[in-house]
Amino acid sequence: MERLPFIAGNWKMNKTVGEAVDLVRELKASLAGVQGVEVAVAPPFTALYAVWKELEGSSIHLAAQNLYWEEKGAFTGEVSPIMLKEVGCHYVIIGHSERRQFFGETDETVNRRIKATLTQGLKVIFCIGETLNEREGGKTFSVIERQVEGGLKGFGDKKIENMVIAYEPVWAIGTGKTATPEQAEEVHRFIRGKLEKLYSREVSDKIRIQYGGSVTPENVKGLMSQRNIDGALVGGASLKGESFSKIVRFKEL
Ligand code: 13P
């Protein structure tokens, strides 16, 4: 089954509004005419509106990095799915390991966030991945299984089709230590098998699974050549127009 490759840039807590607009202006120019790949950028909340305006007429999609599951109300500091839709978001990244690690996100809260996102008609980039300790303790597959089951609890086939999964081994994030294409593929294959068990072959064949963790123009092609790797969620290398454009244009490398 052909899955459309999907390259997304997670800018994390980087870029002022001015810097964000400059970067997307550059990306619009350098990615004009690129075909056969879906592209998204995830600026911080403060830059979403300005980036959305700058992206008008472009095929680059806008993503947010998190949200809260309620529609509105007394939740100081939080942002709702409706608010993100209003500023042009198409995707929301949910359950990133930095949120799990630093902000108390659990499989249960990830599940609530995914539910709220899908209910509002937004798409989800659902992040999972094991830590170095877990990998070294031989727990990679059990951790991934728990995260997939926990995050997707209660979703039927129809909803899950609006989801992209990002496998991001925590030990590879921001460390320069990429998983080898074979290491990543092994986990991607496991995730797809799990989706088949939970849903069906048809559904699992459709869902795109991105790899994230120190993706660069140098290693993207090897990763993308794997059968079950359908894209990349890029951190550091998405902060510069040149490196992100090269990653998006991986077929030409
Ligand atoms: P790096 O590409 O900087 O390792 O970050 C990966 C990531 O966490 C993307 O969400």
CATH number at residue 67: 3.20.20.70
Digit-coded pLDDT (tens) for 114-126: 999 999 999 999 9
Which band of pLDDT confidence, cut at 50, 70 and 90, is reported for residue 251?
very high
- List residues bridging with 192 in a β-sheet: none
pLDDT at residue 47 above 90? yes
Q: φ and ψ at 167, to 5 degrees?
A: -90, 115
Looking at the 3D structure of the chain, how many domains does it have?
1
Catalytic one of 105, 168, 185, 188: 168
Look at residue 161 in the predicted model and tell me its pLDDT: 84
pLDDT at residue 177 above 90? no
Judged by phi (left if over 0) then psi (alpha if -120 to 50, else beta), residue 213 lies in: left
Question: What atom in ligand 1 is closest to the CA of residue 174?
Answer: 4
Answer yes or no: is 162 within a domain. yes
pLDDT at residue 157 above 90? no
Report pTM. Answer: 0.97
What percent of the chain lies above the pLDDT cut of 70?
A: 100
Question: What atom in ligand 1 is closest to the CA of residue 96?
Answer: 10
**Cβ 159 vs Cβ 126: under 8 Å:** no
Which band of pLDDT confidence, cut at 50, 70 and 90, is reported for residue 160?
confident
Range with lowest mean pLDDT among 12-21, 169-178, 191-200: 169-178
**Cβ 168 vs Cβ 10: under 8 Å:** no
Range of the domain at 38: 6-252
> For the chain, what is the mean pLDDT?
96
Answer yes or no: is 128 within a domain. yes
Answer yes or no: is 1 within a domain. no
Would residue 168 show up in a list of annotated catalytic residues for this protein? yes
Helices 107-119 and 140-152 cross at an angle (nearest 10°) of 40
Quote the CA–CA distance of 129 and 147 in Å, as a whole number: 8
Q: Compute the distance from residue 123 Cα to the ligand 1 centre, in Å.
A: 20
Q: What is the mean pLDDT of residues 21-37?
A: 96
Q: Compute the distance from residue 7 Cα to the ligand 1 centre, in Å.
A: 12
Digit-coded pLDDT (tens) for 231-245: 999 999 999 999 999
Catalytic one of 54, 61, 96, 105: 96
Answer yes or no: is 200 within a domain. yes
Alpha-helical regions (H) of the chain? 17-30, 45-55, 81-86, 97-102, 107-119, 132-136, 140-152, 157-160, 181-198, 201-206, 220-224, 241-248
Look at residue 13 in the predicted model and tell me its pLDDT: 98
